[in-house]
Every structure is written in C-alpha cells, then in structure tokens.
C-alpha cells in the first residue's frame, strides 16, 4: 500500500507529525496466490498524510507533547502575543509536598481552558505557576523526620536548623508536578514561577501588612480560638469551618455541691470532661424555669436542673420523673444567680484565694446564650477553653480581659501541665476517660453516656480541635464588612449562587481574622514590640529593617532576623523585639496578587494597570479560604476586589460518592487514566460535568470510555473519512484546494445548514466563554460534533465519494474541511492534544500566509462568526428532517424490520405547509436515511385519530376506586379535547387533574385495514410507513449487504480508494432452498457498482494467476458469498489466447504465468512498447495488449 516499510512511530515532516500506516495483512487460503500489497501506480503527491483506522489517543498525545517541546510552543505563543492587551490571571499556589490529585487537575484544566481561549481571542496571557512553600504541611514532614513532638524539641534542635530542613524539602515533588501538569496539557510557566518563600514575595507581604497596620486594622487580643494541638497553633475561623466531622464524644452529667445547703447539688452537662478541672463558674439562663427536686432514692439529695430538660435527665439515668422525685419548687434562673458551690477539683483553690477572687469564682452566673436544646440548662464555665465562657466570666469579673484570673492548665501540645497533677502529661482528649473515672469514684458523675455530633477537626492534621484562650494578632474584618460585601458585589461568579449565597452569607458573618501562627517556617510577622506591648514598630520592607540591623539582609525567615532589635523611643535603655509568631499561610496566599509581582518594589505600573485580575478559579472549599483572603486584603489595601471573574468548581469524589482516599485506593490513578484514554478524555469529561457548576462529580472510569466512544472516535472517523475522500478526489480529479466560497455558492441545503450551525457555534462559544460558562460551551461543542458526524457526514457520504460528480464532491469536501478546521480551533482549549493532531494535517492544505496556517493550532485565533451565514430557517428545516428520521427509525425498530431493508414508501402528515416544504427540500436525505423508495406528503389530517392512554402505574394510588371511571372518561374524550390536553399538558377527568406524565396520546389512521401500513407520531408530525414485501426491494437489500462486505474487506486490507486492485464476488452453493444471492448479483450489478464506485467482478471469471491480497467468506441471509481482492494484473481474453496458442493449454499457461511475473508499473510500461514476446516449445508467441490481454478485467472490452 504505502511505499516503503511499515511502522508505528511518527515521521517528522517539516515540523509536522504523521501517523504511520501499517501494511495490509497477508491472507492465505484457497482463494489463490497471496500478495502482501498491491503496487500503486504513479499517483500525485497527496495533500494530506494518511492516518490509521484505529488511533491510539494516548500515543498521539505523547507525540504532541514532544512536538510542543520541539517548537517551545507555550513560551513562543506568549512571546508572539506581547503588545496585545493583557489578560491578567492569578494562579493560587499549591503545596509541592504532595503529588497533584484530580482536584488539582480539574482546577488546572479550567484555568487552562480559559487562558488558552483568551490567548486565541487576542489577549496577552501571562500564566505563572506558584508554590505555597510555608506552613504546616512542610513542618509536619520535618517533625516526622526529626521525631519532633512540640515546641521544646524545635527550640532544642534550633529554629535555624529546623527552618533549613524545611527549605530543603519544600520542592520535593516539583519535577513530578511539572510532568503531570504537562501530561494533562496545561500550558503554564514553571520556569518563571513564584514561591512564597522567596525574599521578594515575603517582602511584599510585609508591605501589605504595614498598609493594614497604618490604617489601624491590626490589633492584638486575648481570645478563645480553635486550636490545633497537633500543630501547636491557633486556626482562623474560616480554617475551622473547613473540616467538621461526625464523631462520638462523651456526654456526661456532673453534680456540683452547693455550699448553702448540705446534700444539695446543681446538675451540669458537658461533652468535654477534660475542661472540668478548669471550671470557674456555672451559667444558667435568667428567664428559664429551673426545678429544685428531692430524690426518693439513694441518699435523698436535692438537685437543681432545667425544667425543660428534666425528662431527658430522667430518661438518661433511667428514673421516673414523678415516682422517683418530689418537686420542691420552680424558680427562674435569675434567682439562682450568686449561689456558691464547691469546685469539682482542688487544683486552683489556692490560686483563687491568693488572687482574692473567691467571692466571684465558683458561683452561679446568668447569660442568655444558655439553651434548652441540650443538656441540663446549666453550662459549666471554663473561660480558658470556651468563647462564651470567656465572655461571661469577664462580664462577672471572674477573670479580666487581659487574662488575669484565668486557669489554663493545658500546654501548647494539648497536654495537662503540672497544675493538674493527677493528669499531668496526658493529652486532654485522652484524659477524658480518667477524669470520668475520678468523678465516678467521688460520686460526682450522675450520667456517663456518649453524644454523636459534628465537631471541628484540624484541616491539616485531621485531629480534633480544642478551643483555647491565647493572645494573637488580628486583622479587623467585622467593622469593614460593608466594604468587603460591596466589593464582592462588583465581581462575577460562575455559578452565581456560590457568590450570592455561600460566599455572601460568610461575609455577612465574617469575624476578625487571626493572622498569627505560633510556628517557625513562615513569613515572620514584622512587628517589633516592647515587653508590655505598648510600643510597636511595624516594618514594611527589607530596606527599612536594614536601617535598624546595620547589615545587608538577604533572607527574612525567622532565624535571619529574630536577633534584630529596635531601640525603644520611650526608654533608650530598652529595645523592641520581634514578636514570636509567623503569618497564617492564608495571609501569604491572599497577598499573592502583589507579592508575586514584588509590588510595589517592582512592576508597579504593570500591576496597577492590570488590577483587579480578569480571572481566577479554584474549588468550592476556597470560598472560606483563598477567595475570602483575596477579597479581604484587596479591600483593605485598595478598596477593590482582587478579581473580576471567578469560576468555582465542585469536589471530585470517588465513584461511590466518598472522598477520594489514597489509603482506600478508591479512585483510578490520573496518569493511568491519561495513558489509557488520553488526557483529553479526562479534560472533556470533567469540563462537561456538574463539577464546573460547583456541584460534586463522582469520578467514574466509565465516563472516560463514554467520551472516547461517543465524542472522540466519531470525530476522528469524520476526519479520517475526509482524508480518505480527498485522497480519492486527488487521485481521480486533481489537487484539493480549500475554498470557503464554495459553501456560500452551494445550493445544497445541508451545506447551508451545517455552515449556519458552525457560525452559530462560533458566536455561541465566544459569548459563553465571555460569560465563563464552560459547562454550556462544552455541551455546545459536543452537540455540534454530533451534528457533524451523525448528521452532515452521514447525509453527504455519497456526495463526498463523488457519486454526484467531481464538482459537487469538491463542494462537500470544502464544506467538511471548513467545519473540521474551525472545530479544531474552537475545541483546542478543551482538548488541546487531539485538536493539534488533526490541525497539523489539515493545515497542509492552507497556503502560506493564511491567517489560520500556524505551527500550532493554539496559535490560531478564534474566528469571527459570519452574520450572513446564520440561517435559523435552514437550521429549523434540518431539525425537522432529523426529527422525522428519528421517528422513522423508531417505527422500523418497533416493527423489527432491519434498518437497511428498503421500504416501498412513507407518508408524512403535517398541517403546516412550511413544514412540508422544508422536508421536500431535504427529501433525498430522508429517503437515504430511512431507506424508502418514495416519500409522500399530506396536510390533510382528518383521517388521523387521537386516543388517550393512561399510565396506570403512575395513577394507581392517586385514583384508587375512581380508576375505572377515569379510564372510561379518557376513552370518551373528543379529538378537540385531546388536542387541548396535548397543548396544555393537563386535563381534569372525574375531578382528578391528569398530567402529561399520567396520560399519553396515541395517533392512528381511521379506516386503515392494510396490515402492512404502520403509523408513528410525535406532537407535531405523523408518519405512515409501508412495510409491504417486494422482491425488487429485497434484492436491493442484498446488494447493499454485499457492497458493505466488500467495503469491510477493503478496510481490513488497509486499502486506499486509488489502490490498483480488483474485487471479485462469487456465491458458494450451500444447498439453501430458493437461493437469491446469485440472481441478485446478476440483476443488480449496476446498482452494486454504483454503490462501490468501482466494478465488482464475477468471481467465476478469475483466471487463477492473480495475486490475492485478502479473501473472506461471508454469510448473508443464510447464503455464502466469497469476496476476493487481488492485485491488478494481466487479464486474458481466453478465446483469443486459445487462437494464439492453437489450443495448446500448456502454452497458454506459460504465457499467463510469464505475465504474472510483472508488477503493474512494469506490465503497463511493457504494454506501451509493443507485444510481449513469449517463447515456449520452440515457438515465440506475440502477445498483444488489448487483444490477448488487458490491464485487469476493468479494461477487458470482451467482457459483457
């Protein structure tokens, strides 16, 4: 077939790449001598490279990656776009301490699609990758490596050595990140990336913080905050909200002994027994009712408990409220205020007495935050570990706002200190069990149960958080909420509900932001303070710090600057020292727009012209993360949003709806999927799913199979069909040259339709991408692909094969070329690999200097749509045709009639004359697709009858005993009533409203008694098809089946249309009664030849010397036919040969064998020079071309 050897590797052709075509498989057997390949004649150089029948999309993607590297495609595209308007995009920084997962791939794909499209729309799009280098993920790795368990270990090891250990592993997976990101087709700059640990990045963070400091937005406070004992640091409120888990915690009731009366107690409930040693008060609701009760069991002690929770208490301890208790009195909570009680534990009595607080500590206080939804309506107060506890205890003077008077027996690792001697060194959550045992032993534990509830966990370590009072640095948010909300209102989000509901609601309740972390590897907070915190200096640049340090500073991590002091202005003898904390890493990522540009120290004009960014994208979890911090900081610094447009994606889950887990291995590896199906399949699968609308995606491998089978393969096959038919056209007619003007001049309605659809698609893609609606864009593209492959190509196969003449074939091929070329440009952002593969071949036809002729499809601009090409009327006409074809196919399936069996006729009923006119214009396609000989039309609907069919399954429960009456009412409905029901979608029968889902309409034809006539209808149209059997129609069916087998064999032999071969068919007798195949081959020869666009020769005419390329036996309707493909060779006129040899069969055999030694070009050349001279038996035979032999049976004029 192809000149030269076969192989599977790419061949480089002028910077392009070509898939190799394998040689045809040899076939041995009884059909005759076997030839490995036919010898082609001198065909002109084809415009397009031939492509394989069955592509390997992953292998083609690897070739594309190599090609992109070769031409430095991404950086070259950025270089080409310089000078265009900038399109500013911010890429949120991931940690490089782990490998990318589907969430990263999804967000990266969304970013890549938008940025590629922006480039193709004429923007200059800088795409810099970023790395989040600081924070807990890095420290956790080092802690595990060095077996560090707390702050003391770090200080002992040395912060300098600890931080350098962190620095050394920060980019441990960068190489793998680059490989995976490249494999999934994302174009982003890794070489000019930004890192949050770089001096330039950290310096800009300092500048941002000082801007806030100068505006009075920074303060220090003692607050009860969510605290990670695993990380030894507080978390911000939005970090806390990110990771709630359902857990089972202790649920206990404890009795506190009142001092005012012997054997009297007040009951309190808690789920945190570990906080009880720190109890300083009990709180009741001033307006709630409380009961004073006396037990009728045990030691007859008295209890005080909330009235609304008394029954729950009784059910918990298995007591009867009436039988086991006497009610002494009911009182309001306010009357209990001031009651003194004995502390459960003795650990802090001496401290309280020494501080003179005994008159306030261990008393009952009141506050309205107490609820009757759980517990006993009595809440124990441990101000060091509860936000409300802290507030209430401050209000009643139990502690002071600066923390004085507080008891805080838990260290930074969450372990009890020596203050609580009995539980010293135990982690608070582990101590719960021991504390309960102690209380039970002392008779203070009334009830010991469990409570299942949602509880916050550390989003980094997955460990339960505790609430702990600590001093921390805060950014004011609450008093600036209105500004932040106003700036949020200026942004555009997809989907909008995330902005308008989830994010807006979060902003409305936003709290001041704790930005300090008691960690080591991070950007140090640039505050130098006096011991009493009354004098504070904020540093905003390296140069400013160098003035105080008296030395050059090249790194501002803790171990390089913590030794620097600043002289006090209040007391020259004293110095200010830097605070111990570093920044929350969210503050770093929220500063990314400025820090990545080293603003304002560099790139000042460039940044200010491009701020806010045009676009950002991340997952739904970032509404309380990066999206939030970006908005807060940009509002505080510039009073602007940080971005204009945002796409928020949902979460990618495992197929069972659970979170993807490396431990459980409940999801397929991304690289395995790319290597099996291709990265394009993963990209399109995700972009065409609910996940780009902030909804979850249950990732299923079957989804990739569906994309490959229903989108990529039909698309590729349409492209391959185009290449094959252009090659045939060029072999038969001449060079193919694209001519878009032919589409406008065409009178073919499907050319007009698909061109209108293309330009409608171009407009749609431009509009929808401007609105950042990827989910509609991908849907629109795949819909057009379906119209292209299952519509236009299917409708016009014969035209492109030349059955209507070369000129019409060229028009159809030019139309298909424009469709394929423009589609590659439009789909390039979504499927960058397959579009590149197809484009590289299609571009071969474009002349030099053509605006769409580039080295890469990703350098080609998205075309403008042509308003004149838009034609809604033609599009509606084709949609009507498609609906009729679908109806006809459904009816054939119902009648169990082979879709390839020709039918005698079909009648289309529709009262709309424009509808009928549209279908008449497209009648040839209707006949071809439905395989009917004749199409008739009627606007007369009087013979059509309607009947209502009830859905008894849906109506059973609804109608009950009225079912029979409703059925009779439905059967008696008039035609007008049924039409009204069809129009409105509902009707009332016997008092019941019946919907369209509960009753359907059947259409039939009145007085139709022909059993071969069958109707089908939709609400607009009715078809009547004639299924009458006719012998001539059956022969056409058999002829089509034979033609299909021939084409199948040619395809298996990897033949091209112009290959010099001959095809033979012969019926093999198998004893079937009434055989029809032989008669069909004879009677329908001309029809079969037309279908094949070449002669199909009677297999009985083969002369035995032909070289067989491939042969196969097929069974068609119970009869066997052998199809043989031979390499073209000499075909002899047996009558003339007999005369020449005087009837000597041996001489005739020698002559035929001698001719078989020539390949076709040699035999052709020899034929032009004169007769062949063959010597045998002492005689020389002069064998003359066209008298004794021809070049194949097609030239044999002596054949009928």
Is the pLDDT score of 1132 beyond 80? yes
- For the cut 80, the answer to whether the pLDDT of residue 6 exceeds it is no
Confidence of residue 645 (pLDDT cuts 50, 70, 90): very high
> Three-state DSSP class for 973?
coil
Query: How much of the chain exceeds pLDDT 70, in percent?
Result: 96
Residue whose C-alpha is closest to residue 720's, from 60, 11, 70:
60
Task: Report pLDDT for 237.
Answer: 64
Burial class, 807, CB count within 10 angstroms (exposed 0-12 / middle 13-18 / buried 19+): exposed
pLDDT score at 23 = 31
* pLDDT of 1054: 85
- pLDDT tens track for 142-164: 988 999 877 888 999 999 999 99
> What's the number of CA atoms in the CB half-sphere (13 Å) around residue 1031?
7
Per-residue pLDDT reduced to its tens digit, 1057-1092: 778 999 999 998 877 777 889 999 998 999 999 888
| CA–CA gap between residue 1156 and residue 1148 (Å, rounded) | 13
State the average pLDDT for the chain. 89
Strand partners, 220: 473
Please give the pLDDT value at position 961.
Answer: 82
Asked whether the bond before 600 is cis by omega within 30 degrees of 0, the reply is yes
Measured from the Cβ of residue 638, the count of other Cβ atoms closer than 10 Å reads: 16
Helix/strand/coil percent split, the chain, to 5 = 45, 20, 35
Could you read off the pLDDT of 414-446 as tens digits, one per residue?
999 999 999 999 999 999 999 999 999 999 999
Backbone angles phi, psi at 711, to 5 degrees: -120, -60
Contacts 24+ apart (CB under 8 A), 667-672: 667/102, 667/699, 668/699, 668/701, 670/100, 670/101, 670/102, 670/105, 670/180, 670/184, 671/180, 671/183
Catalytic residue ranges = 93, 132, 586, 622, 626, 659, 662
Asked if 862 and 825 count as a contact pair (C-beta separation under 8 A), the reply is yes
Residue 4 has pLDDT above 70, yes or no: no
Q: Which one is predicted more confidently, 577 or 1156?
A: 577
SS3 665: coil
Q: Encode burial over 522-545: b for 16+ CB neighbours within 10 A, e otherwise.
A: bbbbbbbbbeeeebebbbbbbebb
Under the banding of pLDDT at 50, 70 and 90, the label for residue 459 is low
DSSP structure string for 790-807: IIIHHHTHHHHTTTT-HH
Q: What is the DSSP letter of 831?
A: S
Predicted confidence (pLDDT) at residue 18 exceeds the cutoff of 50: no
Encode pLDDT of 794-851 as tens digits.
Answer: 889 889 988 888 999 999 999 999 999 999 999 999 999 999 999 999 999 999 999 9
d(CA 1170, CA 793): 47
Structure tokens at 72: 């430095």
Regarding pTM above 0.75, the answer is: yes
Residue 1183 backbone class (left: φ over 0; alpha: ψ -120 to 50; beta: rest):
beta
The pLDDT of residue 862: 94
Model pLDDT, residue 37? 46
């Amino acid at each position: 077939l192809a000149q030269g050897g076969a192989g599977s590797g790419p061949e480089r052709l002028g910077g392009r790449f070509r898939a190799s075509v394998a040689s045809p498989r040899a076939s041995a057997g009884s059909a005759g001598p076997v030839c490995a390949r036919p010898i082609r004649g001198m065909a002109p150089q084809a415009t397009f490279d031939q492509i394989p029948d069955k592509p390997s999309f992953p292998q083609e993607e690897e070739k594309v990656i190599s090609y992109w590297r070769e031409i430095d495609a991404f950086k070259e595209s950025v270089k080409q776009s310089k000078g265009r308007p900038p399109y500013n995009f911010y890429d949120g920084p991931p940690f490089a301490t782990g490998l990318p997962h589907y969430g990263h791939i999804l967000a990266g794909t969304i970013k890549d699609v938008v940025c590629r499209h922006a480039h193709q729309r004429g923007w200059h799009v800088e795409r810099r990758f970023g790395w989040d280098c600081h924070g807990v993920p890095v420290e956790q790795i080092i802690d595990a490596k060095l077996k560090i368990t707390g702050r003391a270990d770090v200080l002992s090891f040395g912060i300098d050595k600890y931080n350098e250990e962190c620095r050394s592993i920060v980019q441990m997976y960068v190489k793998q990140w680059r490989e995976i990101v490249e494999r999934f087709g994302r174009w982003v700059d890794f070489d000019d990336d930004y890192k949050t640990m770089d001096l330039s990045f950290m310096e800009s963070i300092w500048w941002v913080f000082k801007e806030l400091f100068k505006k009075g937005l920074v303060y220090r406070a003692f607050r009860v905050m969510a605290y990670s004992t695993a990380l030894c640091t507080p978390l911000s409120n939005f970090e806390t909200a990110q990771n709630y888990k359902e857990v089972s915690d202790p649920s206990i009731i404890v009795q506190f002994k009142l001092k005012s009366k012997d054997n009297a107690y007040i009951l309190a409930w808690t789920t945190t027994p570990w906080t009880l040693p720190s109890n300083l008060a009990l709180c009741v609701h001033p307006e709630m009712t409380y009961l004073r009760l006396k037990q009728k069991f045990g030691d007859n002690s008295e209890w005080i408990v909330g009235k609304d929770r008394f029954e729950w208490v009784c059910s918990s301890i298995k007591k009867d409220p009436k039988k086991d208790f006497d009610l002494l009195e009911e009182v309001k909570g306010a009357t209990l205020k001031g009651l003194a009680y004995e502390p459960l534990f003795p650990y802090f009595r001496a401290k309280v007495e020494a501080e003179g607080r005994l008159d306030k500590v261990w008393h009952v206080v009141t506050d309205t935050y107490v609820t009757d939804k759980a517990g006993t309506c009595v809440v124990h107060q441990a101000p060091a570990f509860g936000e409300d506890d802290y507030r209430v205890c401050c209000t009643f003077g139990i502690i002071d706002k600066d923390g004085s008077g507080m008891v805080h027996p838990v260290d930074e690792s969450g372990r009890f200190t020596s203050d609580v001697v009995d539980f010293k060194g135990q982690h608070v959550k582990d101590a719960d069990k021991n504390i309960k045992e102690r209380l039970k032993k002392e008779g203070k534990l009334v009830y010991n149960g469990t409570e299942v509830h949602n509880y916050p966990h550390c989003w980094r370590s997955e460990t339960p958080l505790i609430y702990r009072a600590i001093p921390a640095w805060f950014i004011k948010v609450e008093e600036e909420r209105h500004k932040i909300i106003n700036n949020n209102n200026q942004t555009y989000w997809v989907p909008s509900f995330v902005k308008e509901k989830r994010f807006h609601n979060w902003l409305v309740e936003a709290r001041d932001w704790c930005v300090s972390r008691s960690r080591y590897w991070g950007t140090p907070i640039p505050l130098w303070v006096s011991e009493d915190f009354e004098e504070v200096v904020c540093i905003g640049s390296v140069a400013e710090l160098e003035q105080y340090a008296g030395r050059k500073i090249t790194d501002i991590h803790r171990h390089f600057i913590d030794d620097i002091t600043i002289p006090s202005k209040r007391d020259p003898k004293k110095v200010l020292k830097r605070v111990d904390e570093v920044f929350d890493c969210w503050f770093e990522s929220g500063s990314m727009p400025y820090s990545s540009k080293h603003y304002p120290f560099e790139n000042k004009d460039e940044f200010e012209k491009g701020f806010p960014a045009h676009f950002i994208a991340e997952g739904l979890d970032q509404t309380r993360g990066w999206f939030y911090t970006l908005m807060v900081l940009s509002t505080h610094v510039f009073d602007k949003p940080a971005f204009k447009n945002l796409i928020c994606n949902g979460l990618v889950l495992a197929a069972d709806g659970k979170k993807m887990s490396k431990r459980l291995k409940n999801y397929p590896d991304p690289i395995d999927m790319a290597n099996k199906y291709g990265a394009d399949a993963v990209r399109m699968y995700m972009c065409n799913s609910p996940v780009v609308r902030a909804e979850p995606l249950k990732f299923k491998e079957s989804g990739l199979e569906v994309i490959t089978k229903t989108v990529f393969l039909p698309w590729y096959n349409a492209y391959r069909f185009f290449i094959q038919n252009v090659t045939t056209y060029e072999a038969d007619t001449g060079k193919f040259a694209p001519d878009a003007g032919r589409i406008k001049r065409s009178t073919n309605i499907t050319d007009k339709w698909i061109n209108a659809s293309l330009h409608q698609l171009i407009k749609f893609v431009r509009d929808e991408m401007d609105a950042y609606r990827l989910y509609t864009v991908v849907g629109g593209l795949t819909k057009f692909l379906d119209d292209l492959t299952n519509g236009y190509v299917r409708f016009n196969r014969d035209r492109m094969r030349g059955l209507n003449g070369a000129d019409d074939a060229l028009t159809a091929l030019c139309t298909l070329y424009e469709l394929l070329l423009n589609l590659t440009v439009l789909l390039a952002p979504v499927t960058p690999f397959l579009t590149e593969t197809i484009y590289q071949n299609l571009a071969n036809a474009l002349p030099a200097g053509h605006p769409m002729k580039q080295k890469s499809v990703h350098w080609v601009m998205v075309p403008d749509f042509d308003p004149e090409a838009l034609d809604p009327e033609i599009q509606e006409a084709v949609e009507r045709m498609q609906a009729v074809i679908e109806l006809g196919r459904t009816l054939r399936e119902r009648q169990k009639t082979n879709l390839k069996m020709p039918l005698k006729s079909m009648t289309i009923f529709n009262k709309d004359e424009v509808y009928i006119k549209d279908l008449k214009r497209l009648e040839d396609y209707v006949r071809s697709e439905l395989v009917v000989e004749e199409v008739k039309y009627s606007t007369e609907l009087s013979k059509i009858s309607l009947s209502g069919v009830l859905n008894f399954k849906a109506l059973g429960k609804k109608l009950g005993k009225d079912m029979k009456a409703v059925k009779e009412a439905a059967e008696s409905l008039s035609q007008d009533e049924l039409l009204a029901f069809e129009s409105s979608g509902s009707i009332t029968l016997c008092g019941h409203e019946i919907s369209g889902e509960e009753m359907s309409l059947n259409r039939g034809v009145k007085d139709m008694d022909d059993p071969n006539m069958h109707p089908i209808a939709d609400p607009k149209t009715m078809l009547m098809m004639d299924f009458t059997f006719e012998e001539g129609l059956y022969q056409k069916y058999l002829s089509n089946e034979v033609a299909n087998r021939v084409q199948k064999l040619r395809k298996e032999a990897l033949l091209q249309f112009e290959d010099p071969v001959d095809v033979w068919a012969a019926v093999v007798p198998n004893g079937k009664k009434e055989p029809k195949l032989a008669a069909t081959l004879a009677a329908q020869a001309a029809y079969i030849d037309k279908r094949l666009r070449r002669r199909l020769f009677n297999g009985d005419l083969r002369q035995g010397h032909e070289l067989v390329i491939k042969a196969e036996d097929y069974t068609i309707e119970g009869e066997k036919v052998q199809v043989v493909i031979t390499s073209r060779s000499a075909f002899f006129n047996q009558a003339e040969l007999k005369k020449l040899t005087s009837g000597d069969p041996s001489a005739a055999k020698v002559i035929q064998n001698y001719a078989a030694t020539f390949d076709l070009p040699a035999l052709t050349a020899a034929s032009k020079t004169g007769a062949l001279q063959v010597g045998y038996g002492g005689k020389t035979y002069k064998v003359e071309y066209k008298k004794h032999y021809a070049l194949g049976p097609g030239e044999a004029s002596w054949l009928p």
